[in-house]
Amino acid sequence: MLILECPYCGVTAEETELHAEGEAHLKRFGPGSDDAAFEGYLFMRENPKGVHFERWRHSNGCGKFFHAARCTMTLQVFGTYPAQTLEPPQDIRDRISAVYPGWRWRDFA
């Protein structure tokens, strides 16, 4: 059972109270962008064994979207943070580095 803390209402919510909403930190490519960029935005997703950044929604709660950093292999949760950001906060990156030195995820390290 995955347990995440909603950064908006502070509830330690278990998985059934939440809804997974796919990969976090996607950069949107809309009209005017070239086909390769648009395809990448629409279809290309990370599928890592290890560190991963996801969007979750507290659907049976406050209803807000938030981000979570976790490991897909060990289910270790490194932390959750509000969705109004373009990159993971430094304290969460540090926590990941402590467990997986030299980790990379898209452009983040």
Partner 1 sequence: MSEAVSALQGAVSEGFARVKETGLRGMITLRCDLASGALAKALKAVLGAKVPGQRRIVDGAGGRVAWMSPDELLILCAHDRAQAMVGELAAALGREHALVVNVSDARAVFAVSGTGAREVLAKLAPVDLSDEAFQPGEIRRTRLAQVPAAFWINQDGRFEIVCFRSVAQYVFDILKVSAEPGGEIGVLT
Q: Contact with partner 1 (CB under 8 A): which of 2, 5, 11, 40?
A: 11
Token representation of residue 79: 């932390």
Q: Which of 50, 61 has the CB closer to partner 1?
A: 61
Q: Which of 73, 82 has the CB closer to partner 1?
A: 82
Burial 18-40 (b: 16+ CB within 10 A, else e): beeeeebbeeebeeeeeeeeeee
With binding defined as CB under 8 A, does residue 31 bind partner 1?
no
Nearest 5°: CA angle at 52, between 42 and 60? 80
Interacting span for partner 1 (CB under 8 A) from 21-29, 32-40, 45-53, 55-63: 55-63
